[in-house]
Structure 1
Amino acid sequence: MVDASRTQKLGFISDHETKIDLLRNKAIATTILDIIAGSGTQPLTIGVHGYWGAGKSSVLEMIADHDFEDEKTLVIRFNGWQFEGFEDAKIALIEGIIDQLIANKTIYNKAKDQILDVVKRIDWLKAAKKAGGLAFTVATGLPSPDQALELTKFAIGKVAGGEWATPENIAAATEGVKGYLKEAEDKPTVAKNIREFNSAFKLLIEKAEIDRLIVLVDDLDRCLPETAIETLEAIRLFVLLPRTAFVIGADETMIRYAVTKHFPDLPAGAANQDYPRAYLEKLIQVPFRIPAMGEAETKTYLTLLAVGSIVGENSEEFNSLLEKAEDYMSTPWLQKSIGDIDVSNSLGAMYTSEVVSAVSMMAQISAVLASGTKGNPRNVKRFLNSLTLRLAVAEARGFQNVIESQILAKIMLAEQFFPDIFEEIAREVGTNPDGVSSSLERLEERCSKTAAPNENLSPDDSEVSDSDNTVTTSTEQIHEPRIDAWMVQPNILPWARQKPKIGTKDLRPYLFVVNDVKNFAIMTAALDARLLTLVEKLSKDDLAAASVLPSVAALVPEDKMLVFEELRAIVLKTTDWDRKPAAITGMILFLTKVSEFESRYLELLEQLPAEKLGSWAAAGHDRAVKTPDGKTRLSKIVEGWKTTGSESLKSMIQADGGR
């Protein structure tokens, strides 16, 4: 039975942008606002860069939430991703800005005529797009006769259908097109059209008495390359005017990639390798890069997330803890983080056993999580939410009393950051009658007596090599190939030394908890060394598989099922479907001796990713499928592959007939 205090429930953590600054990114937001304020009326573009999940949207949210002293600074937001695939990127940006100006009644009343003038120009940009894109403006500034006809149809369509579809309105729409075309005769160049749009937008800002229009542009790095570049160019060409400032949140790497896709024909050579960077610097004047969290910052962030999910982020006690965290984050080079004493002093009566357990767990997992996630806040949140979900599933299934959250967290770290080691441990747990992993026990023992860099162990625990001052122990001189291979993996040392030690624990319940990713419990249950040898032979090659068929035929029914399910699990782990998995051949040979698994084999074929399968899948299954019902089902599967399969598979089925 597990102590209830060791199975605390963490609340699910939202991944949306936040106004509560757990990362001290408010310093970036404040600096950006200071730069904007100090730039007078000069147009400005500022980039907030960082990988996905670094906190860019939260910085923009803090800017939007800033309390400006006057009413002449206006902040509006634009999310390019929301318009992906629905609207021309240039038009979407301009219209998105104007729509929010219209929504502000004070501004609309002050500059109604100027707003309507800009709206009219946007409408005709849409008409031009509908009539064949903006290509005509690029060439001559004038539409062709066919495009003019399309413009007329578009204008009539604006009023057609409903109470507005009167002869007078249709005539007026037609005359409006004629008037536009007449007006276009005086606008023969793209440059002039852009200048006039700029003038109209500039006049709008002046009439609205806006001292600073701050536009927050988010999620450009989620857009397709063409959309991202068009949005940036629209800012530069149309609306980057005096009194405007654009703050653009985007992953700099993704935007550079968008530039290379936008200009695919750049000649090779060192001189052109820096073109994406130079292009981006032209579009974004002031770049801010959000730094990744280090280990101490990750520990602080984890602790704040965990405590906030338990006691609530709006409580006075949590705000007191947040202030303490901000003090530590003000001097990150000191590598200080909030700990148990800080939490206790801040929370007072809210410092429950549930909080104690959560804080302890965060301290244990922070080192591995900081390195594994590369200090990315979103990935940290995802790990905690996955942990919370699995604890909730364990409770719903009724075995929460045998699950300790700290053990589950340690196992999940291995699952995420050391997947090969995790699978070997899972296999050992499944074959051990007590559900323990002796290899994991040895790993923890050896790592507990091995010093991390710049760490000293007591003389009682270790001896120092004169050659390299490396701390070793007598137990490390034992040749253990598996453990030796594990110990050279980066960050394995802090993970193995993380408390609690779990090598002697029955880990079978934890395999059931994590089988939302893969059914380790079924795959490994009671698979002893004898059966593992058979599986290895069956999944190796034709000759090896054929050599163990007599042994397969002699198995009891339960063992036959375990071998088949293990082979099935191996097949489903395949990543390269162009080649025939060796385990498929083994399964077919297996079924020549154990025909009762024919239906399970057909189920497996139905689960395979048809669009990825190579030509090998077209034939050979008739060796495993012998019953009339099975043959009918196999024919339906192959027939379906004619539609859903890869090109090579479809061609082979047509040539071979499929069997």
Structure 2
Amino acid sequence: MWLDNASSIDLLFYSPYADTVVKFAKNSELTPLTIGLYGSWGAGKSSLLNMISNKLKGTDTKGKIACVSLNAWQFEGYEDAKIALMESLLKALNENKTFTKKVGEKIKQLIKRIDYIKLGKNAVKKGLPYALGILTGNPLPIALNLSADLAGSDNVVEKISRFKDEYVKPPKDDSEIENIRKFREEFEEMLEDVSEIDNLTVIIDDLDRCTPDRIIDTLEAIKLFLSVKKTTFIIAVDQRIIEYAVKTKYREIDGYEISADYIEKIIQLPIKIPELSHKDIENYLLLLICQLHIYKDEFRKIIDFIYEEKLLLKEKAIDFSQIEGFIAKESMNNYCDDLDEFKKEAHIIEKIRSVVSPSLKGNPRQTKRFLNTFFVRKNLSSLYFEDELDVSIIAKLLALEIIDSKLFKKINEWNELSKGKDILQLKNLEEYANNPKAELEDDLKKWDKPRVIRWLISEPCELYKTDLRKYYYLSRESLSIYEDNTTLFNEKEKSFLAAILNAKAAQLENLINELKEMSPDSQEKIINYVLRKFKTDSEVIFNLISLLFAEFTDYQSEICDIIKTKEKSFFKVSLAPLLGKMYNVNSTKIQDLIKYLIDNNTIDIKYENLIVGKNTLPVKAVPRR
């Protein structure tokens, strides 16, 4: 299994990015400098920061670069993120022997200055008791309202006295700006006094996990307090989150958004981590399997081999045979825990990786989660069914679930209806995928997408011959996601849905025409909602269902599949005319439906005659809403 942690091995081959950042960080002439590493969540930013940190702390920079790593998310619980960042940085420097030996006292003075800044902020926040205490010279009101860390200290009266003497000024003097100026000056002087250090590099991770206010506070702390000569800040963040934070705090003025200018002022060197290509994801999937089985030292040799042979730059993804060839050449013995299992899993992933990679959005985290889910189901399979199930089929079905969850669920519905026999719809689709010149029924055309076609022809083939009920049992948590909610509906869609569900029979035709004028996305959301409701609400909305069958042919098979699940009690005489209208629209499909219902003793020949118009028995009026 793979944890969502930074990797100690460069599986993503980000080393060139790390080398580029280190090159700039080592150049003190460029300081003060803030580097922004932009990448989406799960893109591997933390792994890249680890590499940068290790390179900066390596032998070639030892004694010249001081590197401190901070996690911005840890400041989330603090009242003031600016002060939390400054305190954390100074405490980290205080633990560095070079700094402690040279400027230990100055660090302590800077930490005390932060105490005074906190005290000043509390005075403003607390208001009258502080003001009275300062003006009267009586520190008691201040002491009673101090935060726990100051109020409990032995020298609180001394701190308050010094705060009054050094920081409390008449209103015409901006004491906060003065505090910022003094802190910057003293911080810069401290760094200059450490001649053994050319540059202080501060690495900040997980900033995009914080609230907008915390993000802005952290950026402003860097710009206002800490960005001085001999400092380089490296911030890993999702650029979209930063932009959102700026827009949240600083509203646009006369249509002008300041987010871009604001970010440019703080981050001088933006470096964007690109999404992994489909080929990169294929390589990553295979290497994760290798990492799972191969011992660490031997696996590092494989990574070095890939770099040396420049396999990443090849047109095609890395073949497992290339890795096997390298292992044989190096005469590696006992290099993994279970050789047979390793090869089996590597071959399975190699077969499906080209199919699933486009759906993993170039994201390493999504790739890990895909493999984690696969191994969970593989393990459940062995516990529930021992060796009965084919692991390759587990992987292939999971790939479809990632590609299109609706189609994944549709195969389950077809499989339930087939009751252990061949899944005819899937058979037709596989035949079409292998011979695109063949005709595809209208209701199956939603499967005619390049990614789905690749999935259909991927191994193992002839999936339609397999009873998939046990396989879907392993993924039953995914099948329960169909919820009757409208959280993704806009107001127009919600209004229309309410109207069409509560309409009388005479109103439905006009509403169906209105639905046909909507966007394909709106149509899909509304029709899918109605069909889910039809699964449980039976005949009440059958007038609507018969019209959808006539006007939206892509859904005809799905409607028939739902009708196949109905009990005998559903097929009242009053519904036969509506089924008759559907028969007139597509006699072939309804005849197949009738045959299925008769074979399963759900209806009889008399009811069939009512549908196809061979019997003129009087029928009751169709129920109205």
TM-score, normalisation: structure 1: 0.68
Query: Could you list the per-position Cα deviations for residues 496-521 of structure 1 after superposition, in whole angstroms to 9, with x for gaps in the alignment?
Result: 1211122221211111111133359x
* Residue 147 of structure 1, CA deviation: 7.9
Query: Could you list the per-position Cα deviations for residues 223-248 of structure 1 after superposition, in whole angstroms to 9, with x for gaps in the alignment?
Result: 11111111111101110010000000
Query: Does the CA-based 8 Å contact 2:85-2:221 persist in structure 1?
Result: yes
AA of the residue aligned to 2:287:
L
Inter-CA distance 190–156: structure 2 relative to 1 (3 Å threshold): closer
* Residue 540 of structure 1, CA deviation: 5.6
Alignment match, 1:591: none
Measure, in 1, the Cα distance between the counterparts of 2:398 and 2:427: 17
Query: Between Structure 1 and Structure 2, how many residues are aligned?
Result: 486
Residue from 8, 31, 35 that aligns with 1:42: 31
Alignment match, 1:391: 378
CA RMSD of aligned residues (A): 3.3
Alignment match, 1:413: 399
What is the SS of the residue equivalent to 1:52? Answer: coil
AA of the residue aligned to 1:409:
A
What is the SS of the residue equivalent to 1:492? Answer: helix
Residue from 324, 340, 347 that aligns with 2:327: 347
Inter-CA distance 24–222: structure 2 relative to 1 (3 Å threshold): same
Inter-CA distance 342–511: structure 2 relative to 1 (3 Å threshold): same
Does the alignment pair 1:542 with 2:529? Answer: no
Alignment match, 2:80: 88
What is the SS of the residue equivalent to 1:287? Answer: strand
Alignment match, 1:301: 284
Mapping of 1:172-321 within 5 angstroms?
172-181=158-167, 188-209=174-195, 210-268=197-255, 272-273=256-257, 275-312=258-295, 314-316=296-298, 318-321=299-302
Query: Could you list the per-position Cα deviations for residues 279-322 of structure 1 after superposition, in whole angstroms to 9, with x for gaps in the alignment?
Result: 2122111111111111221111111100110123x132x22321
Inter-CA distance 179–330: structure 2 relative to 1 (3 Å threshold): farther
Measure, in 1, the Cα distance between the counterparts of 2:185 and 2:13: 40
Tell which deviates more after alignment, 53-62 or 432-441. 432-441
Query: Does the CA-based 8 Å contact 1:202-1:242 persist in structure 2?
Result: yes
Alignment match, 2:390: 404
Mapping of 1:470-549 within 5 angstroms?
472=437, 476=438, 478-487=439-448, 489-501=449-461, 502-518=463-479, 536=534, 538-539=536-537, 542=540, 544=542
Alignment match, 1:335: 315
Query: Does the CA-based 8 Å contact 2:432-2:440 persist in structure 1?
Result: no
Measure, in 2, the Cα distance between the counterparts of 1:221 and 1:490: 35
Tell which deviates more after alignment, 430-439 or 338-347. 430-439
Query: Could you list the per-position Cα deviations for residues 438-457 of structure 1 after superposition, in whole angstroms to 9, with x for gaps in the alignment?
Result: 2222222211234xxxxxxx
Inter-CA distance 384–534: structure 2 relative to 1 (3 Å threshold): closer
Alignment match, 2:8: 19
Mapping of 1:95-114 within 5 angstroms?
95-114=87-106
Alignment match, 2:108: 116
Query: Could you list the per-position Cα deviations for residues 165-213 of structure 1 after superposition, in whole angstroms to 9, with x for gaps in the alignment?
Result: 5xxx454344334333467899645433222110111122123332110
Does the alignment pair 1:323 with 2:309? Answer: no
* Residue 543 of structure 1, CA deviation: 5.6
Measure, in 2, the Cα distance between the counterparts of 1:224 and 1:534: 38
Inter-CA distance 195–159: structure 2 relative to 1 (3 Å threshold): closer
Measure, in 2, the Cα distance between the counterparts of 1:561 and 1:207: 89
Tell which deviates more after alignment, 355-364 or 254-263. 355-364
Alignment match, 2:417: 431
Residue from 351, 357, 375 that aligns with 2:362: 375
Inter-CA distance 201–370: structure 2 relative to 1 (3 Å threshold): same
What is the SS of the residue equivalent to 1:193? Answer: helix
Stretches of structure 1 lacking an aligned partner (at least 5 in a row): 1-11, 137-142, 451-471, 521-532, 548-557, 564-659
AA of the residue aligned to 1:305:
L
The sequence identity of aligned pairs, in percent, is 29
AA of the residue aligned to 1:202:
E
What is the SS of the residue equivalent to 1:402? Answer: coil
Alignment match, 1:362: 349
Query: Could you list the per-position Cα deviations for residues 113-166 of structure 1 after superposition, in whole angstroms to 9, with x for gaps in the alignment?
Result: 211110011111222333345999xxxxxx8547876654456954655xx65x
Query: Does the CA-based 8 Å contact 1:108-1:208 persist in structure 2?
Result: no
Measure, in 2, the Cα distance between the counterparts of 1:364 and 1:19: 28
Measure, in 2, the Cα distance between the counterparts of 1:101 and 1:490: 56
Stretches of structure 2 lacking an aligned partner (at least 5 in a row): 482-530, 546-564, 571-625
Inter-CA distance 60–107: structure 2 relative to 1 (3 Å threshold): same
AA of the residue aligned to 2:454:
P
Query: Could you list the per-position Cα deviations for residues 340-395 of structure 1 after superposition, in whole angstroms to 9, with x for gaps in the alignment?
Result: 22121233355833222222222222223321111111100010011111112222
Measure, in 2, the Cα distance between the counterparts of 1:47 and 1:249: 6
Inter-CA distance 340–33: structure 2 relative to 1 (3 Å threshold): same
Measure, in 2, the Cα distance between the counterparts of 1:231 and 1:21: 29
Alignment match, 1:8: none
Alignment match, 2:553: none
Inter-CA distance 175–251: structure 2 relative to 1 (3 Å threshold): same
Query: Does the CA-based 8 Å contact 1:294-1:375 persist in structure 2?
Result: yes
Measure, in 1, the Cα distance between the counterparts of 2:126 and 2:184: 17
Inter-CA distance 411–537: structure 2 relative to 1 (3 Å threshold): closer
Measure, in 2, the Cα distance between the counterparts of 1:174 and 1:129: 13
Query: Does the CA-based 8 Å contact 2:447-2:453 persist in structure 1?
Result: no
Inter-CA distance 537–401: structure 2 relative to 1 (3 Å threshold): closer
Query: Does the CA-based 8 Å contact 1:46-1:287 persist in structure 2?
Result: yes
